[in-house]
């Protein structure tokens, strides 16, 4: 995905999306049954999260298809990370961004949006991300000429980004040895895109979905699907297995990754690793790959609170 101008110089930071490192957590997690856990550090992306992958594809595809022109504003609803990624891509591609977020998203993310020059609209925290989605839809309908509603929940470019980048990277970085892929769902773009690519490569690879264990949870970025507006790109029957993780476990593993492995993982990364550990323990000799979707820096106050 890197676009190098010459002698290793990128045209802009959009060229630094993807090709994130895979780090071995087997030792730090004290796994001794022959299994390995490998985590893809998505906070190495330019805005600090996995969402740079779909944001780049969504904006680039929309420009190529003529769905967005330079006078238009990119509009989306997000729990934070997609908001930051879209705002960053808007800067890279010379566009404006307007983002609808629930008012309780972390202070660090709101500040990043402001620094990137995005317009921010707040919705009732009690309505969660679904309240933000409803408001973005309403805004898009009131002025379709002004807004390109990128709609990450239903946009096939979201899945395509992971199909063309995350999936192949996991195959290449494990030299094809991955046996289990464990991934939390928000929009489900990572699960559906990377999962499909891995299954095409080897249909024996088990795809494991991770969700919060209840509708009221604190794992930013993940959705409890049963009680939420379901993304159109999501197929509930796609994964081989579903693991539910509590907010407490997500916090616990985020902190544990920092102190034992020096990996500064956000809360969904903690949830993913907690689930990956269960899979590794139940399947001796497995090669379990998971993702750290963003870094701890965005949740420092929460983690210390
Ligand atoms: C921190 C975090 N983790 C996980 C996810 C889930 O990724 P996906 O939308 O590909 O399901 C997101 C998505 O916004 C996120 O922000």
* Cα–Cα distance list, 171 to 40, 141, 200, 288 (Å): 12, 41, 11, 12
Does 166 lie in the same domain as 134? Answer: no
Q: DSSP assignment of 135-190, as one string?
A: HHHHHHHH-TTTEEE--TTT-HHHHHHIIIIIHHHHHHHTTT---EEEEE-SSSHH
Find the DSSP H helices in the chain: 52-64, 81-92, 107-115, 128-142, 156-161, 167-173, 189-201, 247-261, 267-282, 300-304
DSSP sequence for 39-73 = EEEGGGSTTSBTTHHHHHHHHHHHHHTTS--TT-E
The structure tokens listed for 212 are 């919060």
Q: Are residues 23 and 65 in the same domain?
A: no
Nearest CA, atom 12, ligand 1: 221
Domain boundary among the residues 125, 149, 173 is at: 149
Give the residue numbers spanning the domain of 123.
52-149
81 lines ligand 1 (CB under 6 A): yes
Indicate which residue's Cα is closest to atom 5 of ligand 1.
Answer: 221
pLDDT band at 2, cuts 50/70/90?
A: very low
- Which atom of ligand 1 lies closest to the CA of 152? 9
Residue of the CA atom closest to atom 3 of ligand 1: 221
Lowest-pLDDT range of 99-103, 153-157, 254-258, 287-291:
99-103
Does residue 176 sit in the same domain as residue 138? no
Residues 40 and 86 in one domain: no
Q: Report pLDDT for 215.
A: 93
Q: Average pLDDT over the chain, rounded to whole?
A: 94
> Does residue 3 have a pLDDT over 60?
no
Q: 170 and 267, same structural domain?
A: yes
Q: Same domain for 40 and 113?
A: no
Question: Are 275 and 160 in the same domain?
Answer: yes
Confidence class for position 4, pLDDT limits 50, 70, 90: low
The answer to whether the CB of 293 is under 6 A from ligand 1 is yes
Q: Are residues 171 and 191 in the same domain?
A: yes
Q: Which residue's alpha carbon is at the smallest distance from atom 1 of ligand 1?
A: 221
> Higher confidence at residue 6 or residue 45?
45
Q: Is the CB of 193 under 6 A from ligand 1?
A: no
In the predicted structure, residue 7 carries a pLDDT above the cut 70: no
Same-domain check for residues 289 and 188: yes
Tell me if 187 CB under 6 Å of ligand 1: yes
The answer on 249 and 286 residing in a single domain is yes
User: 221 CB less than 6 Å from ligand 1?
Assistant: yes
Q: Which of these three, 95, 114, 149, is where a domain ends?
A: 149
Tell me the longest C-alpha to C-alpha distance in the chain.
58
pLDDT in the model for residue 300: 85
Q: What is the pLDDT of residue 1?
A: 42
Q: Report how many domains make up the chain.
A: 2
CA torsion through residues 254, 183, 85, 14, sign: positive
Is 257 found in the same domain as 118? no
Q: How far apart are CA 110 and CA 230, in angstroms?
A: 25
Q: What is the CATH number of the domain that holds 73?
A: 3.40.50.1100
Q: How far is the CA of 222 from the centre of ligand 1 (A)?
A: 6
In angstroms, the CA 251 to CA 184 distance is: 15
129 Cα: distance to centroid of ligand 1 (angstroms): 12
Q: Do 275 and 168 share a structural domain? A: yes
Q: Which of 130, 149, 168 is the last residue of a domain?
A: 149
Q: Which of 116, 150, 157, 119 is nearest to 133 (CA)?
A: 150
């Amino acid at each position: 995905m890197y676009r190098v101008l010459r002698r290793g110089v990128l045209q802009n930071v959009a060229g630094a999306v993807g090709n994130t490192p895979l780090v071995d957590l087997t030792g730090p997690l004290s796994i001794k049954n022959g299994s390995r856990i490998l985590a893809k550090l998505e906070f190495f992306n330019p805005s600090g999260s996995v969402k740079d992958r779909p944001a780049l594809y969504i904006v680039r595809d929309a420009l190529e298809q003529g769905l967005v022109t330079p006078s238009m504003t990119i509009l989306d609803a997000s729990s934070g990370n997609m908001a930051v990624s879209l705002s960053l891509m808007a800067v890279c591609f010379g566009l404006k961004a307007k983002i609808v977020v629930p008012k309780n998203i972390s202070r660090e993310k709101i500040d990043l949006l402001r620094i990137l020059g995005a317009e921010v609209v707040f919705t009732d925290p009690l309505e969660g991300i679904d309240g933000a989605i409803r408001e973005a839809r309403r805004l898009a309908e009131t002025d379709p000429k002004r807004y390109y509603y990128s709609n990450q929940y239903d946009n096939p470019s979201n899945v395509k980004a992971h199909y063309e980048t995350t999936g192949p990277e996991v195959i290449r970085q494990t030299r094809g040895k991955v046996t289990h892929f464990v991934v939390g769902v928000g929009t489900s773009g990572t699960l559906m895109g990377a999962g499909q690519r891995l299954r095409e490569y080897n249909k024996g690879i088990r795809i494991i979905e991770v969700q919060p264990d209840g509708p009221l949870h604190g794992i930013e970025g993940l959705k409890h699907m049963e009680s939420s507006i379901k993304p159109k790109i999501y197929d509930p029957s796609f994964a081989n297995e579903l693991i539910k993780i509590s907010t407490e476990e997500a916090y616990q593993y985020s902190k544990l990754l920092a102190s034992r492995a020096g990996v500064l993982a956000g809360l969904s990364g903690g949830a993913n690793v907690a689930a990956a550990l269960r899979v590794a323990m139940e399947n001796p000799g497995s090669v379990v790959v998971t993702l750290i979707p963003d870094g701890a820096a965005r949740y420092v106050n929460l983690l210390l609170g």
